[in-house]
Amino acid sequence: MYTPRLEIFPDRIAENVRYILGLCHEHGAQVACVSKVLRAHPAIQKVFKEEGADMLADSRTENLRLAAETYPEMPRLMLRLPALCEVENVIRYADYSLNSSLGTLEALSQAAVGLNRTHKVIIMVDVGDLREGVWPDRVVPLVENAARLPNIEIAGLGANLACYGGVIPTPENMRTLIDCRDACRQATGLPLDMLSGGNSANLPLLMEGGMPPEINHFRIGEAIILGRNVLDRSPLPGTRQDGLRVVAEIIELESKPSIPIGPRGQDAFGNQVEFEDRGVRKRALLNMGRQDVDIEGLTPEDEGIIVLGGSSDHLVLDVSDAHQALQLGDEVAFMPTYSALLAASTSPYVEKKVVHGL
């Protein structure tokens, strides 16, 4: 098979979807399943649909267009705050969007009127992570002004945590979101039924029984696809971590010193690299580099292999202690982190291969 490639195991990921949807639905919460890390690959969209996702969510309008064409009956959520240049496509391809600025909401309203559609919005509140969201003391005026816009329906409020500042979801910051909703209800009379508490980072609090019952919507991606607790990247109980693998091919296999010989400057990416002297080692060169994947996010399936580094087009491994004998042309497989998966999914040079079965 062609290399480098990203192998997707939808039947394994389906087990994670079932488990996490079960947790959230038992709490009384809907789940928007997020496909952005796999670039809305049809195999993952199919798993989400068949396993009972309440919504499909993505940060790119192009991916939402693909979802709309494949599963037009499924509600779709635009995760990233819309840019003014894309508001028409947000209206075309998303039923919901996350928002924090009146100017953007006005542009969405104008586009929705022009396309004769009603668009639902979730007003984002910054409860401490310092990425998107209006500050809590300014949310009521924003909701009051947004409520006057034609063809815009305010579905509720939302928050995002553990993406920029690493702030962990707690009962206290979830209560801040609830209090903001209650204040907006009192000021406007709107029901604001949806409280979108956050992403995969909210699952540990939910599993511990600390999630307030008022939080009734989550946006889940990484925990489903990689089976990881995103607060520390440990395996999330009840999930599998083998739903994806990255595979590349050995294009050179030589024994070489572990330290470069001669005066050294910066590498191709402007870094001054330090090397450990381990003597002469067997080194494998693979046909995959930083243009294809985040090489720091690769863990070899063979625990005896060490990732040494790489350049744009090459990955360098120490395979002296590999558990299996390797030769030119052999394939080496890796488990990707979120960042490595994101890059491999996006790279046009990495083939995407769906592998069925457990």
Q: How many residues does the chain have?
A: 358
How far is the C-alpha of 89 from the C-alpha of 107, rounded, in Å? 12
Which residues are within 8 A (CB) of 262 and not within 5 positions of it... i.e. 6 or more apart? none
H helices present in the chain, as ranges: 10-27, 42-50, 61-70, 87-93, 102-114, 139-146, 171-188, 203-207, 222-226, 338-346
How far is the C-alpha of 355 from the C-alpha of 68, rounded, in Å? 24
Catalytic residue (choose from 36, 120, 282, 353)? 36
How far is the C-alpha of 73 from the C-alpha of 247, rounded, in Å? 35
Active site residue 36: yes
How far is the C-alpha of 58 from the C-alpha of 195, rounded, in Å? 18
How far is the C-alpha of 186 from the C-alpha of 140, rounded, in Å? 9
How far is the C-alpha of 286 from the C-alpha of 293, rounded, in Å? 12
Active site residues: 36
